[in-house]
Structure 1
Amino acid sequence: MQRVLITGMSGTGKSATIRELAARGHAAYDLDTPEWSHWIEAARGDTLTPADGKDWVWQLEKVRTLLCEPREETLFVSGCAENMDELFPLIDTIILLSVPIETVMQRLSARTPDGYGHAEEERCKIAELIATVEPLLRESADHEIDSRGPVARTADRILELA
């Protein structure tokens, strides 16, 4: 079984891509949902968090169980969390989705009012995190995909790499 993590900053297309893979019949899970992740109080002085004093992290045991389930087909998971590196030993391939900051901001401003990144202060924080966190994601990635194009094309590229 191959386990593929699709990661990237907010607005790069992780959720849309994982939905596309699921619609095509692949085992695909969006880990950036309350089913797999939750908010915790951030460590004092930690500025690499999506919200002041709060951090969005994976529920490690639940995600570990998903990653360890025996299966024959490739498992695709998507998400980005500060603690995800704890599960890197269980992941075979890490694919980073990236787009220019202007594209991220356009996508985020189009989200519904309750969607993360719709509010101006959240977009400012995301821009800061792109500058500091995305280079770290790039270091851990096996592949990087420019996800500006149609979601179907991004999914096709991921399937080629997997």
Structure 2
Amino acid sequence: MTEPTQGQPGPDRTGLRPRRLRILLTGMSAVGKSTLVHRLRELGHEAVDLDDSCTTESIGLPGEVLWLEDRVRELLDGPQELLFIAGCASNQGVFRDDFDRTVLLSAPPDVIRQRLRERDTNPFGKTPEQEATVLADQVEVEPLLRQIADQEIVTTGSLEEAVAQVLAVSDAARESRAEHV
């Protein structure tokens, strides 16, 4: 049996290095990705919002968000046993196989419109043009995300309900992995 490398999880009871669990929280602007990340962190979970220094605007298409692939790869390869990553970008499909579960967060257009107008943690969505872009993306992009998602959580209930649902997804992923060991 080899010793774990610095920063890597140690062996489990079987002597094998446990596989890290990665959960993607994706969806349109104003569905609650950043809010969920903040709450998960408060609860002691490792969670990252990719809007914080891991995204850039596309050179080719104005307004198109792209993940900085080297930074996302570093996060995915990190030592955390469980990591929640939140974000939505045109190039997220590059990492599709790196996630154990993909959770689509969604909300009806009227809720998204209200959240965009009322939020104070992110300036995006405040102009009529940006709001129109988000709502157009909801029509065009959200169905594509729904096709690849393992589960959808509609975020119109309380924050604690959404957190409980996200944690249930991670628990199910752990149980599924344990059954296949």
TM-score (norm 1): 0.88
User: Once the 2 structures are TM-superposed, how far is the Cα of residue 114 of structure 1 from its aligned partner?
Assistant: 6.4
Is the aligned partner of 1:149 residue 2:174? no
User: Once the 2 structures are TM-superposed, how far is the Cα of residue 66 of structure 1 from its aligned partner?
Assistant: 0.8
The corresponding residue for 1:64 is 73
Gaps of 5+ in 2: 1-19, 171-181
> Could you report, residue by residue, the CA deviation over 1:95-146 in whole angstroms, capped at 9, with x for unpaired residues?
0001110000000011349610011111111111110000000011000001
Gaps of 5+ in 1: 44-52
Distance (Å, rounded) in 2 between the aligned partners of 1:25 and 1:129: 32
Report the structure number with the largest CA radius of gyration.
2
Distance (Å, rounded) in 1 between the aligned partners of 2:128 and 2:122: 12
1:117 to 121, 125, 143: 125
| Bigger share in strand | 1
Give the partner amino acid of 2:68: Q
Is the aligned partner of 1:55 residue 2:64? yes
Q: Secondary structure at the match of 1:54?
A: coil
The corresponding residue for 2:21 is 2
Distance (Å, rounded) in 1 between the aligned partners of 2:105 and 2:63: 24
Fraction of identical pairs, as percent: 34
User: Once the 2 structures are TM-superposed, how far is the Cα of residue 41 of structure 1 from its aligned partner?
Assistant: 1.4
Q: Which has the higher contact order (CA 8 A, sep 6+)?
A: 1
Give the partner amino acid of 1:66: L
Is the aligned partner of 1:21 residue 2:29? no
- Number of equivalenced pairs: 151
Runs of 4+ in structure 1 off by over 3 angstroms are none
Distance (Å, rounded) in 1 between the aligned partners of 2:122 and 2:159: 23
Q: Secondary structure at the match of 1:135?
A: helix
TM-score (norm 2): 0.79
Report if the CA contact (8 A) 1:68-1:90 is conserved: no
Give the partner amino acid of 1:70: P
Give the partner amino acid of 2:110: E
Report if the CA contact (8 A) 1:42-1:54 is conserved: no
1:136 to 124, 144, 157: 144
Distance (Å, rounded) in 2 between the aligned partners of 1:148 and 1:69: 32
Q: Secondary structure at the match of 2:64?
A: strand
> Could you report, residue by residue, the CA deviation over 1:19-73 in whole angstroms, capped at 9, with x for unpaired residues?
110110000000122x111112135xxxxxxxxx23211110111111011333x
Distance (Å, rounded) in 1 between the aligned partners of 2:96 and 2:31: 21
